[in-house]
Amino acid sequence: MNSATKQIAIFYGSTTCYTEMASEKIQAELESITSEKGIQAEISMFDIKEHALEKSTQYDLIIYGISTWDFGELQEDWESTWEDIKALELEGKTVALFGLGDQLGYADWFQDALGMLHDELIILGCDIIGYWPNQGYKFTESKALSDDGEFFVGLSLDDENQYDLTETRIHEWCSQILEEWTTDL
């Protein structure tokens, strides 16, 4: 492995493949933007059902993907590994988050799991980048909002109601996180 090559990893949990598909799109987008910008980077992707979360701590930039289920609950694979989060050595690491949810079907719990994941990670001392404006969504409540209520604490995707916006959102968010991350390098 070339030591100049930055290692980026996406760790996701997905029940009906939407978060997995978003991960694939994020991986492709990051590959394209890094090569365009001349950033030497390798982007890997792991399903947390098969890969321990602990492995994520080896990466320079870590991206976690989660969907919300059953009225504000965690996606099942995240739920199974939830207690492992507390032991992750993430102090000083850069982390970005994205979530999948359904703003119309579950308007009172939109993206709650994304917020729950954020709250678990932030106490570990990592630097969470990639907050995303909450304009352009219609929902009643969400645990995934920043303290000022203006942002989601990560990229918010809704393939049920806004599938046509997913690609653009991913493109913009990937540019944003690379910008936030590389200015810190």
Ligand X SMILES: Cc1cc2nc3c(=O)[nH]c(=O)nc-3n(C[C@H](O)[C@H](O)[C@H](O)COP(=O)(O)O)c2cc1C
Give residues in contact with ligand X (CB under 6 A). Answer: 14-19, 67-72, 75, 100-102, 106, 109-112, 159-160
CB of 158 to ligand X, least distance (A): 7
Q: Cβ of residue 139: shortest distance to ligand X, in angstroms?
A: 8
> Toward ligand X, which CB reaches closer, 94 or 142?
142
3-state secondary structure of 98: strand
For the bound state, the minimum distance from the C-beta of residue 143 to ligand X, rounded and expressed in Å, comes to 10
Q: What span, in angstroms and rounded, lies between the C-alpha atoms of 13 and 88?
A: 17
Could you give the CA distance from residue 23 to residue 20 in angstroms, rounded to a whole number? 5
What's the min distance (Å) between Cβ of 168 and ligand X?
17
Q: Which is nearer to ligand X, 75 or 94 (CB)?
A: 75
- Using CA of residue 44, residue 131, residue 52, residue 69, what is the dihedral sign? negative
Closer Cβ to ligand X, 19 or 34, answer by number = 19
* Beta-ladder partners of 97: 64
Q: Give the largest Cα separation in the chain, rounded.
A: 48
User: Of the two residues 15 and 57, which places its CB atom closer to ligand X in the complex?
Assistant: 15
Q: Token pair for residue 44?
A: 């890997």
